[in-house]
Amino acid sequence: MWTKSITPRFGDIDGLRHINNCMLPIWFETAREPLFRLFHPHYDLNEEWRLIMARISVDFVNQMRLRAEVEIRTFIGKLGCSSFTVYQEAWQDGRLGAKGEAVVVHYDFPNGKSLPIPDPVRNELEKHLVDEEKFHHG
Amino acid sequence: MWTKSITPRFGDIDGLRHINNCMLPIWFETAREPLFRLFHPHYDLNEEWRLIMARISVDFVNQMRLRAEVEIRTFIGKLGCSSFTVYQEAWQDGRLGAKGEAVVVHYDFPNGKSLPIPDPVRNELEKHLVDEEKFHHG
Amino acid sequence: MWTKSITPRFGDIDGLRHINNCMLPIWFETAREPLFRLFHPHYDLNEEWRLIMARISVDFVNQMRLRAEVEIRTFIGKLGCSSFTVYQEAWQDGRLGAKGEAVVVHYDFPNGKSLPIPDPVRNELEKHLVDEEKFHHG
Amino acid sequence: MWTKSITPRFGDIDGLRHINNCMLPIWFETAREPLFRLFHPHYDLNEEWRLIMARISVDFVNQMRLRAEVEIRTFIGKLGCSSFTVYQEAWQDGRLGAKGEAVVVHYDFPNGKSLPIPDPVRNELEKHLVDEEKFHHG
C-alpha cells in the first residue's frame, strides 16, 4: 500500500459544500505517482512515457468536506501481462469517502501496442497486491 | 439524447499533450445539466438539491486533443425506481474519445434515504432512454 | 474584440455558491485562443510554442453564478515590441462579473529571450486594440 | 509567514510540460487557509462566511515542473481597516517560481458592505506583516 495525504483545495468543494465528485479522479491520479515512478523514475511526461489509462471508476461512499486532510491509499489489484488494475481508497476523519479503480496499460505509443511489464517493475508491483475479494466486499 | 459542445481549456491537456483523463468526468458532469434541470429547473445548488452520485466510470477509447470542440452525447441507460444510469460519449473530429457511465440517485439528504423519481420527470427521462446493449457493444 | 461563451461547469462554483475566483484565470486563458492562433495557427502546444505569460491579474466586480452562460470579451490593451497586454471582461446576465489583464511575451524558449512580434501578427492585434483609459475607468 | 507544501497534480502541467499558469491562483488560495481560519476557525463555507476577494495578481518568475513539491510562503502586506493584501511566493527546488498578491475584504454579504477587521484577528495578521518594499524588489 502506498499512502498520500491530500489537502482539499478551496475550490474542490461544490455548491453542496461537499467535495466535488470530479476531484476524486484527480486525487487518485496524484496518488499514483509512486507507481508511475516504478516505470519512469524521473516522472518526466515526455515522448518516453509508456503508460496509458484504459478505464477509471469511482464509487462514492460518504461525502467528504473541505476542512480535513484526505488520505489516499493505493493498492495493486489485478496484475496482468501488460496491464494492471489499481485499487484506491479516500479516507477522511476515519471514514471511507470513496473507492476507485484504474486500469493502466504499459503501452508503446509510437507503435500503438501494449508492452509486457518488465520483471523488476512487476516484482515491485506485486509487493502492493491486495486481496481483490476483500477490497470489494470489505 | 442531449448534446453539449465543450471547448477544451488550455489547461485541460497534460504533459503528453492529450486531454487529461480527469477532464472527462468534469465534461460529462457539465453535460448532465439538462438532466439535472428536470429535477431542479432553476439549477440552484442549495439545501433543496436532491440528487447524489453513487458511481462514475470512464472508458478511454481514443486520445483527444486541445484544438477541436468536443461533443458530449448524453443518454439514459437504466431507469430504476429512485436511481438511473446516465450513458455518455465524448466525440472529437468524428471519433469516439471516451464513454462514461454515472449512477445518479434521487435522494433525500436530510433523512439520508433514496426517493422515488417523480412521474413527470420519469416521463422525460424515458424519452432519452438508449438501448443498453447497443451502447456497450456498438 | 473577440468573444467566447463559457458554460460554467458544475464544479466551478465553490461553497459560497458563487463562481470560484480561480476559474476566472482559466476562463480568460480559454478565451485567448484566437489570439494564440495568430501566432500559432495550429494551436499545437509543442517545442515550437513561443508565447509566455509574464503576469495575470483579475478584478472581481460582481459575483457570478452557475446557471447562466458567461461571455468573455477579449481586447488588446498595450502593444509593445515583443509583448502585449490582453484586457478581458467576463459578463453574465448583462452584468460585468470580472476584469482581467494578462501580459504575454513573444518568447524564444531555447535561447531564453524575447522576440519581436512579427508584423503580420501585429497588424491583426492592432485591430483589437481598445482604449486603455476607457477599459480602466469605464 | 505561513508555509504550505503543495504536491503538483498530474493534470497541473500543460502541453508545454510546465505548471499551467492557472494553477498558481489555486495554490495560493489553498495556502491562505490558516489566514481564513483566523476569521472562521471552523473553515466552514456557509452563510456565515465574511471574506471576499477583490483582486488577485500573479507574476510568473520561473517555470515550475511536475516533479517536485512547491512551497507556498504567505505574508500579510498592507493591512487596512476592513481589507488587507496577502503577498505570496511559490518556491520549487530553491527557485522562486511565482509571486502573487490578493486583496481580501472583510465583508457583510447580506448587507453588501465591508466590515472592520476585529482586533484579535488584526493582532494575528500583524504578526505576519512583511516589508512591502522588500517583497517587491527583493
More confident residue, C13 or B92: B92
Interface test with D, best of B9, B10, B24 (most D CBs within 10 A): B10
Give dist(CA D99, CA D77) in Å, integer. Answer: 13
Query: Is B58 in contact with B25 (CB distance < 8 Å)?
Result: yes
Q: Dump the DSSP string for chain B.
A: -EEEEE---GGGB-TTSSB-TTHHHHHHHHHTHHHHHHH-TT---STT--EEEEEEEEEE-S---TTS-EEEEEEEEEE-SSEEEEEEEEEETTEEEEEEEEEEEEEETTTTEE-PPPHHHHHHHHTTB--HHHHHH-
Query: Distance of CA C112 to CAs A44, C92, C102, D25, D32, Å?
Result: 21, 40, 20, 25, 33
- Weakly modelled stretches of chain D, pLDDT under 70: 45, 133-138
Residues of C in contact with D29 (CB under 8 A): 21-22
The per-residue pLDDT for D48 is 81
User: Does residue A118 have a pLDDT over 90?
Assistant: yes
CA trace torsion A42, D60, C109, B20 (10° rounding)? 50
Q: Which residues pair with B55 in a beta bridge?
A: A59, B103
CB contact D33 to B (< 8 Å): no
- Residues C71-100: tens digit of each pLDDT: 999 999 999 999 999 999 999 999 999 999
CA trace torsion D103, D2, D66, A78 (10° rounding)? -120
Number of Cβ atoms within 10 Å of the Cβ of D115: 16
Query: Is D39 in contact with D51 (CB distance < 8 Å)?
Result: yes
CB contact D103 to B (< 8 Å): no
- Weakly modelled stretches of chain B, pLDDT under 50: 138
CA distance C20 to chain D (A): 10
For B47, which residue in chain D has the nearest alpha carbon?
D46
Q: In the structure, what pLDDT confidence band is assigned to residue C138 with cuts at 50, 70 and 90?
A: very low
For C20, which residue in chain A has the nearest alpha carbon?
A11
CA trace torsion A8, A12, A17, A20 (10° rounding)? -110
Q: Dump the DSSP string for C18-78.
A: SB-TTHHHHHHHHHTHHHHHHH-TT---STT--EEEEEEEEEE-S---TTS-EEEEEEEEE
Compare CB distances from C42 to B27, B29, B67 and report the shortest one's residue. Answer: B67
Residues of B in contact with C67 (CB under 8 A): 42-44
CA distance A10 to chain C (A): 7
The per-residue pLDDT for B69 is 93
Number of Cβ atoms within 10 Å of the Cβ of B69: 11
Query: Is A79 in contact with A126 (CB distance < 8 Å)?
Result: yes
CB contact D33 to C (< 8 Å): no
The per-residue pLDDT for B17 is 80
Residues of B in contact with C28 (CB under 8 A): none
Query: Is B89 in contact with B99 (CB distance < 8 Å)?
Result: yes
DSSP designation for D13: B
Residue B12, all three cell numbers:
485541460
Cβ <8 Å between C45 and D21? no
In chain D, the percentage of residues whose pLDDT exceeds 90 is: 72
More confident residue, C12 or B73: B73
Residue B20, all three cell numbers:
487529461
CA distance C16 to chain D (A): 6
Give dist(CA B11, CA C23) in Å, integer. Answer: 11
Give dist(CA A130, CA B13) in Å, integer. Answer: 32
- Tallying the residues shown for chain B, one arrives at 138
- Residues C95-115: tens digit of each pLDDT: 999 999 999 999 998 898 999
In sequence order, what are the residues at sequence separation of 6 or more whose Cβ sits closer than 8 angstroms to the Cβ of residue D103?
Answer: D53, D54, D55, D56, D83, D84, D85, D86
The per-residue pLDDT for B138 is 46
Give dist(CA A20, CA A63) in Å, integer. Answer: 9
Residues of A in contact with D42 (CB under 8 A): 67
First to last CA, chain D: 16
The per-residue pLDDT for B131 is 77
Give dist(CA A21, CA A58) in Å, integer. Answer: 9
CA distance A25 to chain C (A): 13
CA distance B29 to chain C (A): 7
CB contact D108 to C (< 8 Å): no
The per-residue pLDDT for C85 is 97
DSSP designation for C12: G
- Residues C58-74: tens digit of each pLDDT: 999 999 988 889 999 99
Q: Which residues pair with C91 in a beta bridge?
A: C71, C96
The per-residue pLDDT for C7 is 87
Compare CB distances from C58 to D46, D52, D55 and report the shortest one's residue. Answer: D55
- Tallying the residues shown for chain D, one arrives at 138
Query: Is A125 in contact with A38 (CB distance < 8 Å)?
Result: yes
Relative to beta strand A95-108, strand A113-114 is: antiparallel
Q: Which residues pair with C51 in a beta bridge?
A: C106
CB contact B11 to A (< 8 Å): no
Neighbours of chain C (3+ CB pairs under 8 A): A, B, D
The per-residue pLDDT for A138 is 46
Neighbours of chain A (3+ CB pairs under 8 A): B, C, D
Relative to beta strand B70-79, strand B2-6 is: antiparallel
Alpha helices, H only, chain D:
23-31, 33-39, 119-126, 132-137
Cβ <8 Å between B25 and A29? no
Residues of D in contact with C42 (CB under 8 A): none
Residues of D in contact with B22 (CB under 8 A): 10-11
What sign results for the dihedral spanned by CA atoms B100, B106, B109, B115?
A: negative
Picking from A101, A102, A133, A97, the residue whose alpha carbon sits closest to that of residue A6 is A97
The per-residue pLDDT for B13 is 84
pTM metric for this prediction? 0.87
Cβ <8 Å between A22 and B29? yes
Picking from A131, A47, A41, A116, the residue whose alpha carbon sits closest to that of residue A84 is A116
